[in-house]
Amino acid sequence: MNDVAAAAGLSRTTVSKFFNGSATLKPDTREKIERACRALNYVPDLHAVSLVTGRSNLVGVVLPFIAEPFFGKVLQLMEREAAALGLQIVIQASNNDTRREAAALMALRAMKVHGIILTPIESNDNRALLASLQKEMRIVFLDSFMDENCHFVMNDNHQSIGLMVNYLLSRNVRPAYLGTPRIANPSRPERMAGYIAAMKAAGETPEVIPVAVDTPTWQFEAFAYEQLLNWCGQGGLRESGAGAIMCTTDRMAFGAAKALRKFGRHPGKDMLLAGHDNLDICEYMDPQLTTVHQDIERISQAAMHFIQLDPAELGGRLYQQRFAGRLVIRESA
Amino acid sequence: MNDVAAAAGLSRTTVSKFFNGSATLKPDTREKIERACRALNYVPDLHAVSLVTGRSNLVGVVLPFIAEPFFGKVLQLMEREAAALGLQIVIQASNNDTRREAAALMALRAMKVHGIILTPIESNDNRALLASLQKEMRIVFLDSFMDENCHFVMNDNHQSIGLMVNYLLSRNVRPAYLGTPRIANPSRPERMAGYIAAMKAAGETPEVIPVAVDTPTWQFEAFAYEQLLNWCGQGGLRESGAGAIMCTTDRMAFGAAKALRKFGRHPGKDMLLAGHDNLDICEYMDPQLTTVHQDIERISQAAMHFIQLDPAELGGRLYQQRFAGRLVIRESA
DNA sequence: CTGAAAGCGCTTACAG
DNA sequence: CTGAAAGCGCTTACAG
């Protein structure tokens, strides 16, 4: 910066003002600085800036897994938002390990990140840590949270599940429900409750497919495949009278389809099948998967919007947003 | 840090040594410091550390897209490596836009990142920028590069494609080849050359499916679907005599399967179908996709290994690694 | 609109 | 093994 100031024949203060967007600089001065920067290939040292200002242009994102298609898409959308705001994303995966999650959070704190976007693991291990962190920095929960007393952005599960139940009923089939493994809070109970409520509202008896092993796995396809195989093996298909299997995620529907085929069924023909999320790959499954689109565009936008929000604007209120899903009808139902 | 030093009754120098892993501290001293840190909930300010040391624990990763399943998986694996090395990943997506790519690179430079892992866009726009950046910082190319004069880690395309050609020939079918859209350099020409070479070596005539519009798209499924639809529509299926469609990526195989079905073919039965990469979803396609597994575990590891390598260890040599693929036989071929 | 000065929280020789 | 001092590259009142 000294060099730039010297080359431009100005003081460091003036150069600093230039980078902080001061409107009081003469066009002439600006140009001199721009020229000097270009000549010296100068870019301000962000660590020095962060040290003195006490904040950085970094935003931390902590997700259970990065390669999970839903999270991958959300991350990509958030990156676009971040870039537009001049923010950089530091990405960490907790890998469903509470210690990794805690370490990631602490590292982000040491970096004085602008804020944190977090999809927490379903566990109480980091409850205290999170509670104290929430006091000193901006933290918004995405898709999942510990308790209602936080900022969050997520899908409107009640609405989106209701949409699918009613659509399936309108096709004159009774959907049996296959729920998520024990990982996503509060989406798991919310979606289940949404299914039950919508069925009852329509005067139908809900049928939740029993889950043999309720381990907190992220292998949705394998989980659904095994649970449904089990159910079919025990005569569930015969006894149930359900005309559709309604899954809480697309990935589960992919596993369910495989299990149905194994039992000689043709998903979309003699047994309707529905997912939830609208992953890109749905269009290329056979049959193409009918699902509900989560509004990940707005979810991602809202999360990043919160990060750059001046806390004063919230006026002490909690930032809590739920976005409505949209039915996407394809071949499977 | 002053507070910690005071609380522990020591000087800042000593506390600093503690964090920099000096072995010359008395156990007694260490414990005092640890206690003080815990009491004060202290973590060193990384920006101050970076400012004075001139380097950070940040590593920049620039990919064309984050939600691309292959990149998502690689990113996840790299994050795990980074965490183990005490590094943090700053992720940026170029979105196939050279200006975004240039901006990402400059931002990473301003952050004094430890190094950059880059999958460049196929374009010459940032050639000069990259050349100058390569001189001042560690940059390793992943899966793709501009010219051979760089550090890179990637799949051994010649080997992996040859593997599939020979497998298909061993099943007594002649594979026609559907190549990647114009985006991946040098993988696209390498794989094509690998196919042609393997066919010729086996005494067979190569058959490359002509591509109508060679736009640089990342919509692999849609691209393959359209190209194959075109080809089938023009009687390619009838005239070719090929017994298998060999695709350069799994995602293309998904699109190809859809096109084949549209023309009344049954992938895996009356027309074999093969992919490349071994995405997780392959197992849940119908038919399950036969493919070749890219060794993304080692590719990711090697990339991160390079980042934390002391340049002196290279002794001026280029770090260039190609990893062999592995055949994964399922139902489609 | 511009300049001189203090300070952000650390590390690193250097001296003891 | 520990302490006093300088300095990393910026920003921010403050004075002109």
Is residue B225 assigned to a domain?
yes
Q: Which of B180, B59, B67, B71 is nearest to B119 (CA)?
A: B71
Whole-number pLDDT of residue A214:
77
Interface contacts (A, B; CB < 8 Å): 141
* Confidence class for position B22, pLDDT limits 50, 70, 90: low
Q: Are residues B26 and B143 in the same domain?
A: no
Co-location of B165 and B262 in the same domain: yes
Closest CA to B325 of B194, B186, B177: B194
Band of residue B139 on the pLDDT scale cut at 50, 70, 90: very high
- Residue A227, domain member (yes or no): yes
Between chains, do A254 and B48 touch, taking CB under 8 Å as contact? Answer: no
**Residue B209: pLDDT band with limits 50, 70, 90:** very high
Whether residue B69 and residue A72 make contact (CB cut-off 8 A), yes or no, is yes
B165 and B275, same domain (yes or no): yes
**Which nucleotides of strand D come closer than 7 angstroms to any CB of the protein?**
1-5, 7-14
**Is B94 a member of any domain?**
yes
Q: What is the pLDDT of residue B21?
A: 67
Q: How many residues does chain B have?
A: 333
Q: Provide the chain A residues 126-155 that lie in CB contact (below 8 A) with chain B.
A: 132
Pairing type for strands A88-93 and B88-93 reads antiparallel
In a domain, A271, yes or no: yes
Does B1 contact chain A (CB < 8 Å)?
no
> Within its chain, how far is the Cα of B197 from the centroid?
25
* Residue of chain B with shortest Cα separation from A222: B284
- Indicate whether B100 and B212 sit together in one domain: no
| Residue A200 Cβ under 7 A from any strand D atom | no
Contact present, A183 and A216 (Cβ < 8 Å): yes
Whole-angstrom CA distances from A131 to A126, A146, A150, A311, B254 are: 8, 10, 9, 17, 45
Contact of A176 with A205, CB cutoff 8 Å: no
Residues A80 and A24 in one domain: no
Please state the rounded mean pLDDT for residues B207-218. 88
- A283-297, B15-29, B88-102, B185-199 — which is least confidently predicted? B15-29
Cα separation, B166 vs B152, whole angstroms: 27
Segments forming the whole domain that contains residue A11: 2-44
* Residue A190 predicted with pLDDT over 80: yes
Residue A202 pLDDT more than 80? yes
Q: Are B151 and B165 within one domain? A: no
Q: Is residue B80 within 8 angstroms of chain A, CB to CB?
A: yes
A-chain residues near B51 (CB < 8 A): 45, 47-48, 51
Q: What is the structure's pLDDT at A22?
A: 67
- The pLDDT tens digits for B293-319 are 999 999 999 999 999 998 888 888 999
* Bases in strand C with any atom closer than 7 Å to a protein CB: 1-5, 7-13
Q: What is the mean pLDDT of chain A?
A: 93
**Domain CATH for B181:** 3.40.50.2300
Q: How many CB atoms lie within 10 A of CB B119?
A: 23
Closest CA to A252 of A225, A283, A230: A225
Axis-axis angle for helices A69-84, B98-110 (nearest 10)? 80
Statement to judge: residues B214 and B134 lie in one domain: no
Q: Report the domain count for chain B.
A: 3
Could you tell me the strand order of the sheet in which A175-178 lies? A175-178, A244-247, A272-274
Closest-CA residue to B188 (of B168, B206, B161): B161
Residues B90 and B208 in one domain: no
pLDDT score, position A40? 83
What integer pLDDT is reported at residue A275 of this predicted model? 98
Tell me what the mean pLDDT of segment B77-101 comes to: 95
B270-297 pLDDT, tens per residue? 999 999 999 999 999 999 999 999 999 9
Looking at the structure, tell me whether residues A281 and A314 fall in a common domain: no
Per-residue pLDDT reduced to its tens digit, A21-53: 667 777 778 888 888 888 887 888 889 999 998
A 257-296 residues with CB < 8 A to B: 257-258, 261, 280-281, 283-286
For residue B316, give the 3-state DSSP assignment: coil
Shortest CA gap A129–chain B (Å): 11
Q: Is residue B332 included in any domain, yes or no?
A: no
pLDDT digits (tens, 9 = 90+) for A231-272: 999 999 989 989 999 999 999 999 999 999 999 999 999 999
Residue A331 lies inside a defined structural domain of this protein: no
Confidence of residue B34 (pLDDT cuts 50, 70, 90): confident
Residue A63 backbone phi and psi in degrees, to 5: -120, 155
**SS3 annotation, A195-245:** HHHHHHHCCCCCCECCCCCCCCCCCHHHHHHHHHHHHHHCCHHHHHCCCEE
Q: Which residue has the higher pLDDT, A281 or B185?
A: A281
Contacts of B223 (CB under 8 A, 6+ apart): B181, B217, B252, B255
Return the higher-pLDDT residue of A147 and A282: A282
Percentage of residues in chain B with pLDDT exceeding 90?
74
Average pLDDT, chain B: 93
User: What local confidence, expressed as pLDDT, does residue A21 receive?
Assistant: 67
pLDDT > 70: what percent of chain A? 99
Burial class (CB in 10 A: 0-12, 13-18, 19+), A121: buried
What pLDDT score was predicted for residue A14? 83
Classify B130 as helix, strand or coil.
helix
Confidence of residue A290 (pLDDT cuts 50, 70, 90): very high
Query: Does residue A84 belong to the interface with chain B, where contact is any CB pair within 8 Å?
Result: no
Alpha-carbon span A298 to B268, nearest angstrom: 40
CB B206 within 8 A of CB B195: yes
In contact, A4 and A40? CB cutoff 8 Å: yes
Q: Residue A18 sits in a domain of what CATH number?
A: 1.10.260.40
- Residue B259 above 70 pLDDT? yes
For residue B4, the model assigns a pLDDT of: 81
* A281 and A315 assigned to the same domain: no
For testing contact with chain B, the best of A1, A66, A132, A300 (most B CBs within 10 A) = A66
The answer to whether residue B331 is domain-embedded is: no
Both B291 and B186 in a single domain?
A: yes
B109 inside domain: yes
Q: Is residue A85 less than 8 Å (CB to CB) from chain B? A: no
Greater model confidence, B163 or B42: B163
Neighbouring CB atoms inside 10 A of B97's CB total 15
Same domain, residue pair B172 and B247 = yes
Whether residue B36 is predicted with pLDDT greater than 80 in this model: the reply is yes
pLDDT digits (tens, 9 = 90+) for A72-117: 999 999 999 999 999 999 999 999 999 999 999 999 998 999 999 9
